[in-house]
Amino acid sequence: MEWGELRELILRRIRPSVEEERLVEAFCRRISGELSERLREAGFKAVAEVHGSVAKGTWLSGERDLDIFILLDPGYERDVIPSVLEVVKRYLGSGWVEAYAEHPYLQARIDEFQVDFVPCFRIRPGEPLKSATDRTPLHTAYVREHLKPEQRDEVRLLKRFMKGIGVYGAELKVGGFSGYLCELLIIHYGSFEELLEAAARWRRGTVIQLEVGPDPRELRRRFGTPLIVVDPIDPNRNVAAPVSEDSFWSFVAASRGFLKAPSEIYFYPREERPEAQEILEALRLRGSDLLFVVIPDSDVDVPDILWGQLYKAEKALRGLLERWGFEVLRSAAWSDEASRHILLYELESATLPIVEKHMGPPVEVVEHSERFLRKHLGSEDLISGPWIEGGRWWILTRRRWTGARELLRHHLEVDGGRGIGVPKRLSRRIREGFSLLLNGEIEPYLEGDFISFLHRFLCGRASWLH
């Protein structure tokens, strides 16, 4: 299919209809108006406004996530936020959940909409922030001023493309591109196609400035991230800071692939839902071992805190396995963000021989050689040697740990993995209970989103590579 035809096909799916726009606008007008009145009646100098993609006209059809910001008079301090949220709670009545980022905010389901109510302080460009969310109204104003009406569809195409290849979202779970970053990229490059043509040539440390700013070399030294997009509202902020190395290169590679052969699969990847028996058969035939750490959780943190802990734990356990000689081919973390987390490690083998060949120092280094010989000649774990090979001392020694499962169980049972780098809150959950499962033992958990996640892990290929 030619790109022009495909473009219109995608736009018909993602561009809101006139009726849908009216529905969303009416809802936003009602909620912001009613809440502003409640705040005024409670004596607060504050107003509720819609921000995010709806306010900028870049939202996708079918999306029902809204951001209502409560702009407080700059004369207030942060300690007023809990009192402001009490007004919002009384307005909502029930069905709200209090969440935390830099400061508390509320989430609520109203009709068919999922709404975040976020307090912030009204500031002018260049004024100091009282909270990180203070920038958002300024971001909205900047995009409204600089994004041309015809470019709104370009942003929509970019967002759908990034969703399709799995790099949309600045949250820790994804480590990708925020909606605001997508808007800035279109403002800078002009269109979806022009952005992809540029991204196909991006190199690590690419710098994008929409306003006149410092030398790019200075920005690379300051930020040190794969992509640097200077916030036109705050020149000390890199909007692309959340973009991970993998997300950056995934976008670059997908841009190259799409330009060579445009396809709908970049926007809407095929969803495969394998049966549990297919997964079990794949595990049986794979030739490697998959070790799963299953962690029940009855008190789950907000997503960004949770995923930060999971990724740190994944890295800590991987490091432990590697230090004791296990070859970790790949690792990953999964969570339903409600009651269960799973860390998984694909190992060349979950068991190692009892014998390990250990390299010593060069014979010519006298002090190190003498220390090596003193240590190992009297060791109960010495099996063979020391001998000289290639100018070095070598021995065969007995491994302390031959099973990956036993190694992990030992360290997790002692202190929940705290001593090897598992974050404190997650280590507490582990101490309360965990399971270590090998290969097909994971069968009881092969359901819902996890079975799809495991299928993608086993496939190991980006959905757009075909």
1 has a pLDDT exceeding 80: no
- Give per-residue burial for 109-143: e unless 16+ CB within 10 Å, then b: ebeebebbbbbbbbbeeeeeebbebbbbbbbbebb
- Determine the pLDDT at residue 458: 95
Q: Which two tokens stand for residue 403?
A: 């099973």
Q: Which two tokens stand for residue 383?
A: 């099996």
Whose CA is closest to 243, among 122, 162, 152, 353?
A: 162
Same domain, 14 and 88: yes
193 has a pLDDT exceeding 80: yes
Same domain, 408 and 394: no
**C-alpha span between 68 and 55 (Å, rounded):** 10
User: Which of the four pLDDT bands, split at 50, 70 and 90, describes residue 273?
Assistant: confident
Position 150: which residue type?
Answer: E
333 has a pLDDT exceeding 80: yes
Which among 266, 290, 314 is the end of a domain?
Answer: 266
Same domain, 451 and 346: yes
Position 4: which residue type?
Answer: G
- Determine the pLDDT at residue 132: 87
Its pTM stands at 0.91
The mean per-residue pLDDT over the stretch 343-372 comes to 96
- Determine the pLDDT at residue 312: 96
Same domain, 13 and 108: yes
162 has a pLDDT exceeding 80: yes
Mean pLDDT of the chain: 94
Q: Which domain range does residue 127 map to?
A: 3-134
- Determine the pLDDT at residue 405: 98
- Determine the pLDDT at residue 80: 93
pLDDT digits (tens, 9 = 90+) for 25-45: 999 999 999 999 999 999 999
Q: What is the CATH number of the domain that holds 380?
A: 3.30.70
pLDDT digits (tens, 9 = 90+) for 394-417: 999 999 999 999 999 999 999 999
Q: Which two tokens stand for residue 103?
A: 């400061």
- Determine the pLDDT at residue 298: 74
Same domain, 426 and 301: yes
Same domain, 256 and 293: no
Same domain, 25 and 65: yes
The mean per-residue pLDDT over the stretch 358-372 comes to 95
Q: Is residue 114 part of a domain?
A: yes
**C-alpha span between 405 and 283 (Å, rounded):** 17
Which among 212, 235, 266 is the end of a domain?
Answer: 266
For the chain, report the end-to-end CA distance as a whole number of angstroms: 15
**C-alpha span between 326 and 320 (Å, rounded):** 9
pLDDT digits (tens, 9 = 90+) for 135-151: 999 999 999 999 999 99
Q: What is the CATH number of the domain that holds 197?
A: 1.10.1410.30
Q: Is residue 139 part of a domain?
A: no
Q: Report the 3 state secondary structure along 83-140.
A: HHHHHHHHHHCCCEEEEECCCEEEEEEECCEEEEEEEEECCCCCCCCCCHHHHHHHHH
Structural contact between residues 59 and 71, judged by C-beta atoms closer than 8 angstroms: no
- Determine the pLDDT at residue 317: 98
Task: Strand 96-100: give its sheet, edge to edge.
Answer: 46-51, 65-72, 113-121, 104-110, 96-100
Angle, vertex CA 366, rays to CA 362 and CA 369, nearest 5: 55
Q: Is residue 140 part of a domain?
A: no
95 has a pLDDT exceeding 80: yes
Q: Which residue has the higher pLDDT, 465 or 165?
A: 165
Same domain, 92 and 165: no
- Phi first, then psi, for residue 84 (nearest 5°) are -65, -40
Q: Is residue 256 part of a domain?
A: yes
pLDDT digits (tens, 9 = 90+) for 335-352: 999 899 999 999 999 999
- Determine the pLDDT at residue 101: 74
- Phi first, then psi, for residue 329 (nearest 5°) are -75, -45
Same domain, 296 and 445: yes
Same domain, 188 and 216: yes
Which among 248, 266, 284 is the end of a domain?
Answer: 266
418 has a pLDDT exceeding 90: yes
Give the count of domains, the chain. Answer: 4
Same domain, 285 and 339: yes
Collapsed DSSP state (helix, strand, coil) of residue 348: coil
Q: Is residue 271 part of a domain?
A: no
277 has a pLDDT exceeding 80: yes
Q: Which two tokens stand for residue 50?
A: 């819609």
The mean per-residue pLDDT over the stretch 107-129 comes to 91
Q: What is the CATH number of the domain that holds 12?
A: 3.30.460.10
Q: Is residue 464 part of a domain?
A: no
**C-alpha span between 343 and 361 (Å, rounded):** 37
A 10 A CB-CB count for 324 gives 15
- Determine the pLDDT at residue 397: 94
Q: What is the CATH number of the domain that holds 347?
A: 3.30.70.590
- The alpha carbon of residue 129 and the mean position of all alpha carbons in its chain are separated, in whole angstroms, by 25
Same domain, 98 and 201: no
Q: Is residue 292 part of a domain?
A: yes
Q: Is residue 235 part of a domain?
A: yes
